[in-house]
Amino acid sequence: MNEALWALGRGTGVVALALLSLSVVLGIVHRSGRPLPGLPRFSVTLVHRDVSLLGAVFTLIHVIALFFDPQAQLNLVDFILPFLGTANPFWLGLGTVASDVLVALILTGLLRRSVGFRVFRFVHWFAYAMWPIALLHSFGDGTDSAAAWFNVVAVLCVAAVASAVIWRLTTGFVEFKKLRTGELP
Amino acid sequence: MSALRNELRRELRRESALLHIDWTACDGRGLCTELLPELLQRDEWGYPLSLGYGSNVPVPRALMDAAQDAVALCPRQALRMLGR
Ligand code: SF4
């Protein structure tokens, strides 16, 4: 049973990292105002939302499985307050910070119309902080962080998010940007 | 005559709702123009454009669902239905 919980906790953590990376990339594509091949703009938004929610579900299973696993030595307080853990308090704390931010992102995302656009956007910027924190947590706290397969997954995640962020910073990022600022494409 | 015209106008109102576009919030991301191609075109800068109407676009009943989707999905919360 413990073996199973341990495996579940680790596996879901890696899947959550991959899903949240994909979510960041989709969020950036959405922000560009561009469709993807075969995916119109409104679908990009919906897939971004669904992948994020799925990432949150995997994060939840990850946390719960490790809570019931004696090896991880998780306390209830580690669900909410970072850096108070028994084992690896710093690296575990990063996971707590990331999941706290994730909860805020999900809540303001789903209640977007009630909280208003400004609050939503302010909180949503923290996605760019959440992702590297979650990545560091998976490297620092992850049992598999030395394993080759984990490094392949991590490199793919980093490559995808890094290229999306770099694209985000280029001038041609937003559709119609060149036209709107008066330059010719 | 005017009674008939009023009757027609009321009929039209019953048949359609108004989709309001808040231009100060809209960023021309084009989700609404994808969801309501029958109602909205895209101008050359990517902003929605409804020929013949300004900020309040009548939505026929058949397009109400699509209009509601557009309201829900507009990334800038620039759209709303005007209450009837
Ligand atoms: S979806 Fe919203 S922001 Fe995008 S073009 Fe339509 S009204 Fe403007």
What's the pLDDT tens digit per position in A113-161? 999 999 999 999 999 999 999 999 999 998 888 899 999 999 999 999 9
pLDDT band, residue A73 (cuts 50/70/90): confident
3-state SS string for chain B: CHHHHHHHHHHHHHHEEEEEECCCCCCCCCHHHHHCCCCCEECCCCCEECCCCCCEEEEEHHHHHHHHHHHHHCCCCCEEEECC
Q: How many domains does chain A have?
A: 1
Hey, are the CB atoms on B27 and A33 less than 8 Å from each other? yes
Mean pLDDT for chain A overall? 93
Hey, are the CB atoms on B29 and A41 less than 8 Å from each other? yes
| Structural domain that includes position A77 | 2-181
Q: Global pTM?
A: 0.90
Which of A47, A114, A176, A177 is the best substitution to test chain B (most B C-beta atoms within 10 A)? A176
Residue B1 pLDDT greater than 60, yes or no? no
CB of B74 shorter than 6 A to ligand 1:
yes
Q: Where are the beta strands (DSSP E) in chain A?
A: none
What's the pLDDT tens digit per position in B6-51? 766 666 566 679 999 999 999 999 999 999 999 999 999 999 999 8
User: Can you name the CATH fold of B2-83?
Assistant: Alpha-Beta Plaits (3.30.70)
Residue bearing tokens 């004696």: A70
